């Protein structure tokens, strides 16, 4: 599985005085050992990402309580923490919450401004101090009828205008039972990938719809199988580098009791957490031990 790393841009390793691309000769076992180690480090190099999606929950009082509970908790992992708050509380949350936790909106429209009653714009989100947006969540797709095409347009606009995006994909129970999981995931991925040029600001969230808020969780093996196929799809349809670097997180009834088994899978790079992000011990998920 090391074959696609043969050409390395050595600018990642400033202590080596090479320019451009260097082809490593494989005859030497020492070089091969160095190469294997390098590949391992690069594959293991995806920074943990833990998102909390509050959905349509919270009041100033409950949010103030959570902010207080999380304020002084030591974060032991190297992790991006992103909290998805309802639009009315984005600015309040950004002002009051600890600085190392980032803020996300739960949706955004595909136009800069205008006659779109009830929508919020990317500029408004940034103006409130938030840096992320969750797009394509299954509730947007299934409760509010958002199409793959619309979600793709939203992803494009958000990225072009400076937000990072957590893009959600996943199948319903009917689709899984009909054996269509990967057909659905690929269809959703195609609409997203066609609209991304800078993958460094995209996190993919695989959320099997049947596991969201139902208490049913995909087993670590079920989740890993889909995550690895998403990564393979990225390698085949975008690039090997994007497949290696892009974080694919799992969502669907993640809690303190199952996050370690899920996070231990090689292609699960973190979590998008629903209900379990509305309580003080969400920080236990952030600090999950993945050694």
Q: Are 170 and 138 in contact (CB under 8 A)?
A: yes
What percent of the chain lies above the pLDDT cut of 70? 85
Q: Which listed residue (137, 146, 175, 227) is catalytic? A: 137
With 70 as the cut, is the pLDDT of residue 22 above it?
A: no
Asked if residue 105 has pLDDT above 60, the reply is yes
C-beta separation of 102 from 132 below 8 A:
yes
CA 120 from chain centre, in angstroms, equals 21
Task: Concatenate the DSSP letters of all residues of 211-246 into one string.
Answer: GSSSS----HHHHHHHHHHHHHHHHHHT-HHHHHH-
pLDDT tens for 119-130 read 999 999 999 999
What sections of the chain are H helices per DSSP? 29-43, 60-70, 90-96, 122-127, 138-142, 148-160, 173-177, 181-193, 220-237, 240-245, 259-263, 282-286
Which residues lie closer than 8 Å to 60 by C-beta, 6 or more apart? 89, 92
Q: Residue 212 — pLDDT band, cuts 50, 70, 90?
A: confident
Q: Is 203 helix (H, G, I), strand (E, B) or coil?
A: strand
pLDDT tier for residue 27 given thresholds of 50, 70 and 90: very low
Cβ pair 84, 106 in contact under 8 A = yes
Question: How far apart, in whole angstroms, are the C-alpha atoms of residue 254 and residue 215?
Answer: 9
Q: Is 4 a catalytic residue?
A: no
- The whole-number pLDDT of residue 25 equals 44
pLDDT tens column, 257-266: 999 999 999 9
- Rounded to an integer, the average pLDDT of 212-241 is 94
Say what the pLDDT of residue 213 is: 82
Label residue 29 by pLDDT band (50, 70, 90): low
Catalytic residue among 139, 171, 207, 227: 207
pLDDT of residue 291: 75
Taking 90 as the threshold, does the pLDDT of residue 31 lie above it? no
Tell me whether residue 207 is one of the annotated catalytic residues: yes
């Amino acid at each position: 599985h090391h074959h696609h790393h043969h050409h390395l841009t050595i600018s990642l390793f400033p202590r080596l005085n090479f320019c451009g691309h260097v082809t490593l000769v494989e005859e030497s076992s020492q070089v091969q050992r160095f190469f294997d180690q390098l590949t391992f480090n690069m594959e293991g190099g995806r920074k943990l990402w833990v998102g909390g999606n509050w959905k349509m929950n919270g009041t100033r009082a409950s949010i103030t309580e959570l902010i207080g509970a999380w304020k002084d908790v030591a974060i032991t992992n190297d992790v991006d923490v992103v909290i998805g708050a309802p639009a009315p509380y984005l600015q309040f949350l950004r002002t009051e919450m600890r600085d190392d936790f980032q803020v996300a909106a739960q949706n955004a429209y595909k136009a800069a401004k205008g006659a779109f009653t009830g929508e919020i714009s990317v500029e408004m989100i940034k103006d409130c101090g938030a840096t992320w947006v969750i797009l394509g969540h299954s509730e947007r797709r299934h409760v509010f009828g958002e199409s793959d095409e619309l979600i793709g347009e939203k992803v494009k606009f958000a990225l072009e205008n400076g937000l990072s995006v957590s893009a959600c994909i996943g199948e319903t129970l009917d689709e899984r039972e009909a054996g269509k999981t990967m057909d659905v995931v690929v269809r959703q991925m195609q609409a997203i990938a066609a609209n991304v040029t800078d993958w460094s600001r995209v996190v993919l969230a695989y959320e099997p719809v049947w596991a969201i808020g139902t208490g049913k969780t995909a087993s670590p093996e079920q989740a890993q199988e889909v995550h690895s196929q998403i990564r393979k799809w990225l390698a085949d349809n975008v690039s090997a580098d994007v497949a290696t670097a892009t974080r694919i997180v799992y969502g669907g009834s993640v809690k303190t009791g199952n996050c370690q088994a899920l996070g231990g899978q090689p292609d699960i790079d973190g979590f998008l957490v629903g209900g379990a992000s509305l309580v003080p011990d969400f920080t236990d998920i952030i600090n999950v031990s993945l050694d």
